[in-house]
Amino acid sequence: MIREQREILRTELVGSPLSDPEIPAIAGAGMERIDRFLAERRPPTPCLVIDLDIVRARYETLRAHFPKAEIFYAVKANPAQEVIATLAELGASFDVASEGERLRCRDLRISEKRLSFGNTVKRENEIAQAYAEGVALFAFDSPGELEKLARSAPGASVYCRILAEGKGAEWPLSRKFGCTPDLAVDLLQKARTLGLRPAGVSFHVGSQQTEPLRWRPAIENAAKVFQACAQAGLPLERLNVGGGLPAQYRLPIPPLADYATAIDDALRECFGSSRPRLIVEPGRYLVGDAGMLRSTVLLISRKSHHAHRRWIYLDAGLYNGLPETWGKRIHYRIRTPHQGGTSESVILAGPTCDSMDVIYQKAEYTLPLDLAIGDRLDFLSAGAYTASCAAVEFNGFPPIQTYCI
């Protein structure tokens, strides 16, 4: 325990262009609570620790910046029961992607009325079951999905997802979801003729969206759909501006106020006085900074006598907690127990026998030369899309454990 506490005092954040005084402000008191938990409980690694106080604080900040919006938490970002229950207590609604997520909410006695089935690719029997149990809001982006909804959730409220550019996002959702605005207009009208209730439009400008102005063109497109539908005698009510709000990784991000202002300005300019009811659907923003992923160094090696970069192999990798490092996308801030001394460029890799399981190779990370086998390596702001994306048993490694404090 004493060694562990000393380690905490001597920790160093590496690979961060943020200056030291900024780091405590970003990490906040939650880091201390997480550190205390880890020092006292010493759970096996790799593990993810979530500070629910930070989740609460994030929700309150979001509510303050979007006072009129309904907040639907995207459960996929972190489906830990405690996270869902905490947000439910605060009044959040929930975006669920599957029956599994819906049942998690139901097990916590969250009313189905507070759920939106937001995946545009659903199993028809899951639609039917969700509707029978009270879910009233469903997403679609294609005629095929609309027909499933009409058959299995007759009379349900439905919203159409339109395509949005992923530029500016560190994890773009590309062109997999959504349809063009003109197709959305036709589909929303078709929804009405099929006996469904067309509620509105949604989009997602890409996850970890670092440029607040990227909401603007998407809102413009949504407004065109609203206008065309109104002209066809089909008034729409709700606009879902998706997720995309960022967590604090290695690079500085704009403050939440900039996102709220950009979205508000675009709504005013595109909708004037006939603003729709607003839905925000954050995942990463609410839980990202609330989590720390602790790993252990399993091996340090060089590939030749003269190789200048060390390979650092950890017990966490692409398959058990760090999938978003793939393709140099998400750059976590990393903390080691060593401070001062020389640091050198490293390649970080996970523990499986798969050559894809390399965490950072092209991204430039330097770690202290003092780093040794058995040392802890902490990934900060790792509360989103880590444990929830871990493989179940790849190479025999168990899924990463989450502890909520």
Ligand X SMILES: Cc1ncc(COP(=O)(O)O)c(C=O)c1O
CA–CA dist 244, 337 (Å, integer): 32
Of residues 376, 385, 250, the one with CA closest to residue 324:
385
The least CB distance from residue 139 to ligand X, in Å, is 7
Asked if 177 contacts 204 with a C-beta cutoff of 8 angstroms, the reply is yes
Q: Which of 15, 166, 181, 242 binds ligand X (CB under 6 A)?
A: 242
Q: Which window, 215-223, 240-248, 352-360, 368-376, contacts ligand X (CB under 6 A)? A: 240-248
Interface with ligand X, residue 368, by CB under 6 A: no
The least CB distance from residue 311 to ligand X, in Å, is 31
Q: Could you write out the three-class secondary structure of 180-197? A: CHHHHHHHHHHHHHCCCE
Q: Which window, 3-11, 78-86, 276-284, 314-322, contacts ligand X (CB under 6 A)? A: 276-284
Interface with ligand X, residue 323, by CB under 6 A: no
Q: At a CB cut-off of 8 Å and minimum separation 6, what does 300 contact?
A: 310, 311, 312, 313, 371, 372, 373
Nearer to ligand X, 200 or 282 (CB): 282
CA–CA dist 82, 280 (Å, integer): 21
Of residues 187, 165, 160, the one with CA closest to residue 175:
165
The least CB distance from residue 396 to ligand X, in Å, is 29
Interface with ligand X, residue 211, by CB under 6 A: no
Q: At a CB cut-off of 8 Å and minimum separation 6, what does 193 contact?
A: none
Interface with ligand X, residue 244, by CB under 6 A: yes
Q: Which of 69, 71, 77, 153 binds ligand X (CB under 6 A)?
A: 77
Interface with ligand X, residue 207, by CB under 6 A: yes
Interface with ligand X, residue 284, by CB under 6 A: yes
Asked if 273 contacts 24 with a C-beta cutoff of 8 angstroms, the reply is no
The least CB distance from residue 208 to ligand X, in Å, is 6
Interface with ligand X, residue 350, by CB under 6 A: no
Scanning residues 99 to 138, which ones bind ligand X (CB under 6 A)?
A: 118
Of residues 350, 367, 246, 245, the one with CA closest to residue 298:
350
The least CB distance from residue 35 to ligand X, in Å, is 26
Q: Which of 243, 276, 368, 383 binds ligand X (CB under 6 A)?
A: 243
Interface with ligand X, residue 282, by CB under 6 A: yes
Q: Which residue number has the CB closest to ligand X?
A: 243
- Phi and psi (nearest 5°) for 250? -75, -35
Interface with ligand X, residue 74, by CB under 6 A: yes
Of residues 254, 257, 139, 148, the one with CA closest to residue 188:
139
- Furthest-apart CA atoms within the chain: distance in Å: 75
* List of residues contacting ligand X (CB under 6 A): 74, 77, 95, 118, 204, 207, 242-245, 281-285
